[in-house]
Structure 1
Amino acid sequence: MKVAICGGGIGGLVCAIALSEYPNIDVEVYEKNSSFEEIGAGISLWPRAWKILRRMGLEKDLLEQTHNQPEEEIAIAIRLMANDETRLHTYDVKGKGAVFSSFHRADFQRVLLKHLPAACKVNFSKHLESFAHTADSHIELRFRDGDSSACGILVGADGIRSSIRRCMLAEQAIEASRTYTDRVPCPHAESLLSGVEPQRTGIILYRAVFPAWKLRTKWPGHAVFKHTIQYQGKVAHLIAYAISRGELINIGIVDFQPDPSTPQDVAERLKILCEGWDPEIMAIVDCIEEIKPWVVCVVPPLQSFVHKRVVLLGDSAHAMIPFLGSGAGQAIEDADILATLLGHATSSGRTAEEALEVYDSIRRPFAQGVALKSEHQGHLYSEIHQSESHERFQDRFIGVGQRMTANLEWTWATTIDGMREQALQMLEESTRA
């Protein structure tokens, strides 16, 4: 079985490494850029995703790239902060083994590339334009530069603006329209096509990275050197954590209510967002040298991640609001389950189509559920500043912290092992049925 993976991001590379463990599967990666881009932003992983990488043999090299080591004791995952008129309040979101491991994306990517087997061919500057299913159950790939190739399984790991998702949904819509006889547009086809373009959330995230020594000079014992901190202001919130072995600080400032009718200079907008913030948090903001806005978009819930022998994973399938820090983790989970099913199918005589259908039935509801949890987490932030008195503020702040903990607990209290076993059992039962 030849598997083509379009996209050399986290999900695509983890999938390539996992699939390469199976001798009956040939893996080829197609990356639209001329090289693997080292995007200068932080990523975070919860223990649920970390345990997958540990099983794949990546733990030792990854531990060399992070300063917060996974542990099994009670740990602080996030330090929640907010200030009223009197003082800075803190609430620690914590649990048994609840370590929020943080990385520079470039460092993380280098570890993945180190573990990518030499037998896995990587093709650069290959932007997929379209694909077509052939009569012999293969898929013909057509690239923007005029080249073409063929594969047995096509994996779309090409991000939120996925060309594979666009082609897959267009093909499904055409098939739906063929059986529709009314003169008005086919509603099912229109519903499918609504998933082609990512949807704007109305949120802007300002991202920046700066050297940790700058903050040490201003505030030597700052909490961000030990913990991921999340600060909730009245109209925006900040998340910050150390990356690159503690040498850099990665921050994001979330603007929940941008006004598109009055475009503003970034520096001016930040002054408005940060008004009234506690000095400990402003010490981080004052270290920023360059900050870039990012319009937060999501992929609307798809009816399927699979069509025939084409399958989506990661952001191409379920790009979500980043309020749970679970986007990368869900891509890793997708890759793990997909590789497990395809590997089992090739060794047990099951078909690839059966494996993909099981993948969709297992991963789609779970990943889309995580996207809903992430959206809910964002709603919690707005509740903190709805109190009028100091006593009510403190009670509401603690209550929100407890609800945030409950919304996050699955990330460290559960593993993917049960899902993997269920997927394999479903694949076995699909043939007997």
Structure 2
Amino acid sequence: MLTWLTRGAGIVGLAFAVALNALDKERRFVIDVYEAAAEIAEIGAGINVWPLTLNIFKEMGVYETLIPYFDHYPDLEPRVIFGLRKADEKKGFHVHDIMNDGGALRIHRADLQKGLIQHLPLSDSNTDQNNRRCTLNLDHRLVDYTHESSGRVKLHFENQPSKECDVLIGSDGIHSTVRQLFLSHLPNPEKYEKYRKPVWSGLIAYRGLVSREALEEMYPGHRSLRHPGLTYAGKTRYLTTYPVAGDKLINVVAIARDESENTGVWEGPWKVEVTQEEFFEAYQGFDEEVMALIQCIKKPTKWALHVLDHLDIFSNQQVFLMGDAAHAMLPHLGAGATVGIEGAYILASLLTHQSTSGPLNPEKIKLISSIYNTIVVPHANSMSKLSDETGDLLILTAPGFNLEQYTLGDKIPMETLQDVFGQVGKNWFWSASDPDEDRRRAEELLDRIGKDMGIQVAA
């Protein structure tokens, strides 16, 4: 039995369960999902699906289900991902286009969640009887786990009976209970004290959805109505738009550096509804296209953006962390979900590989854990660092470009802007990479080390 502990039916955890089901040809795994909430809620905002993510979805068998939700039909035609504009002045202007083969598919997060759930082999679904191998347990709040002498993991819940499993997957988000317990169970927990809780990045984000009709009425011919993605950049802040919900809505994310001293601790709730006036004030001086977008968002939300310090371990013994529970990062590259899905795909591949066929004993799990750390940890941490660097470029504070001499609204030489935004484009190199490259590396390690350890490889 494999247990997945989730929070809010997160995208990465769902992707892991669906991938495991698709790859588990021997039907060895039964998945128990424990959700702290009393119900599964559909969660909002947009998400980018890159060519490499799409290839994973094909392997998982969910590609056809998701097509109707994308903003355009998937193909490999060269497309603009984002048009980058200098916009913290009355007349903003275009500087650079970021492109790749296939572009980016935009989808509402709730639609992606819905599409993945359709492929989850839930025991109470209409799925074929032999394929009903996933049970969803709501209102189960984990308080601790213990390693049993049998090699299994015992889960201790608040106000619920304890349960046992062979493998525990913590995909319970940035506030992860599993992560905090996982770190406390390591041989040297004091080393990881600072990794237990997220830290505030010093950035805030304003978010909202704009209907095409409302924007067309407010600002006929607005660039965001006809462009696949735009970033309106200025000193210390930027605003990004792209279509979601089958092109019916425009997702707006505006990120700004908070000017107060950043101690790493945000006082108050992480997400609040704010007035439109506050949003206006934060982007005062930006061009009229930006102000029109803000004017269409009647109830914007404000988020304090938190991250995790880079862990050097995501798994130990029978416990694995994935997604934001392991590597919560800033959203500047739109890569957080993709990195999590890649990790989930790799772990599902290792668990179902021919080298680990038969009973999943502690020796095999230990080997899988070691390989998961070897492949997934450095990749996730490097992507988190790349996202940080991209954010500094987008808010025009990156070192090496002599940007420190400029303030909000200043005119910056076009040559400098082209250098800065050109580097932003280069930072998207990963979006069209081969998702099977790391999977193959992981499986090769599994074959080689497994043979050295005397683990029988199936014929």
TM-score of the superposition, structure 1-length normalised? 0.90
CA shift for structure 1 position 6: 0.6
Match of 1:204 in 2: 204
Match of 2:420 in 1: 400
CA shift for structure 1 position 270: 2.2
CA shift for structure 1 position 320: 0.2
Match of 1:145 in 2: 159
Unaligned runs of 5+ in 1: 177-188
| Structure-1 separation of matches of 2:259 and 2:60 | 42
CA shift for structure 1 position 190: 2.4
Q: Which moved more, 1:264-273 or 1:228-237?
A: 264-273
CA shift for structure 1 position 35: 2.0
Match of 1:185 in 2: none
The residue identity in structure 1 corresponding to 2:5 is C
CA deviation profile, 1:181-201 (whole Å, cap 9, x unmatched):
xxxxxxxx3221211101111
| Structure-1 separation of matches of 2:89 and 2:155 | 60
CA deviation profile, 1:360-381 (whole Å, cap 9, x unmatched):
1100000110000000001112
Q: Per the alignment, in what secondary structure is the counterpart of residue 414 of structure 2?
A: helix
Match of 1:420 in 2: 439
Q: Does 1:164 align with 2:164?
A: no
| Structure-1 separation of matches of 2:203 and 2:89 | 27
Residues 279, 294 of structure 2: 8 Å contact kept: no
Match of 2:303 in 1: 294
Which of 434, 450, 454 matches 1:431?
450
Which of 67, 71, 80 matches 1:67?
71
Residues 24, 346 of structure 1: 8 Å contact kept: no
Match of 2:334 in 1: 325
Q: CA distance change for structure 1 residues 111 and 93 in 2, over 3 Å: closer, same or farther?
A: same
Match of 1:281 in 2: 290
Q: Per the alignment, in what secondary structure is the counterpart of residue 336 of structure 1?
A: helix
| Structure-1 separation of matches of 2:118 and 2:261 | 43
The residue identity in structure 2 corresponding to 1:37 is A
Q: Which moved more, 1:342-351 or 1:244-253?
A: 342-351
| Structure-1 separation of matches of 2:71 and 2:65 | 13
Match of 2:148 in 1: 134
Residues 204, 258 of structure 1: 8 Å contact kept: no
Match of 1:256 in 2: 257
Match of 1:382 in 2: 395
Residues 19, 345 of structure 2: 8 Å contact kept: yes
| Structure-2 separation of matches of 1:149 and 1:219 | 57
CA shift for structure 1 position 221: 2.5
| Structure-1 separation of matches of 2:344 and 2:356 | 16
Which of 38, 46, 49 matches 1:45?
49
Q: Which moved more, 1:139-148 or 1:86-95?
A: 86-95
CA deviation profile, 1:337-381 (whole Å, cap 9, x unmatched):
000001115327771221121011100000110000000001112
Q: Which moved more, 1:223-232 or 1:374-383?
A: 223-232
Q: Does 1:352 align with 2:365?
A: yes
Match of 2:20 in 1: 19
Residues 127, 144 of structure 1: 8 Å contact kept: yes
CA shift for structure 1 position 133: 0.5
| Structure-2 separation of matches of 1:170 and 1:390 | 49
Q: Which moved more, 1:296-305 or 1:42-51?
A: 42-51
Match of 1:236 in 2: 237
Q: Which moved more, 1:284-293 or 1:60-69?
A: 60-69
Match of 1:270 in 2: 279
CA deviation profile, 1:76-125 (whole Å, cap 9, x unmatched):
01111113657322134333414122111111111011111132111111
Q: Per the alignment, in what secondary structure is the counterpart of residue 64 of structure 1?
A: helix
Residues 210, 289 of structure 1: 8 Å contact kept: no
Q: Which moved more, 1:373-382 or 1:250-259?
A: 250-259
Q: CA distance change for structure 1 residues 93 and 130 in 2, over 3 Å: closer, same or farther?
A: farther
Match of 1:124 in 2: 138
Residues 387, 393 of structure 1: 8 Å contact kept: no
| Structure-1 separation of matches of 2:51 and 2:194 | 34
| Structure-1 separation of matches of 2:142 and 2:48 | 29
Q: Does 1:214 align with 2:223?
A: no
Residues 32, 125 of structure 1: 8 Å contact kept: yes
Which of 37, 40, 44 matches 1:36?
40
| Structure-2 separation of matches of 1:386 and 1:319 | 28
Which of 102, 108, 111 matches 2:112?
108
Which of 403, 411, 424 matches 2:431?
411
| Structure-2 separation of matches of 1:292 and 1:314 | 23
| Structure-2 separation of matches of 1:31 and 1:157 | 10
Q: Per the alignment, in what secondary structure is the counterpart of residue 311 of structure 1?
A: strand
Match of 1:3 in 2: 2
Residues 230, 241 of structure 2: 8 Å contact kept: yes
Q: CA distance change for structure 1 residues 126 and 258 in 2, over 3 Å: closer, same or farther?
A: farther
Root-mean-square deviation (CA, aligned residues, Å) is: 2.3
Same amino acid, percent of matched pairs:
29
| Structure-2 separation of matches of 1:294 and 1:85 | 25
Q: CA distance change for structure 1 residues 321 and 391 in 2, over 3 Å: closer, same or farther?
A: closer
Residues 324, 340 of structure 2: 8 Å contact kept: yes
| Structure-2 separation of matches of 1:117 and 1:86 | 53
Residues 354, 427 of structure 1: 8 Å contact kept: yes
| Structure-1 separation of matches of 2:384 and 2:331 | 9
Match of 2:455 in 1: none
CA shift for structure 1 position 210: 2.8
Q: Does 1:88 align with 2:92?
A: yes
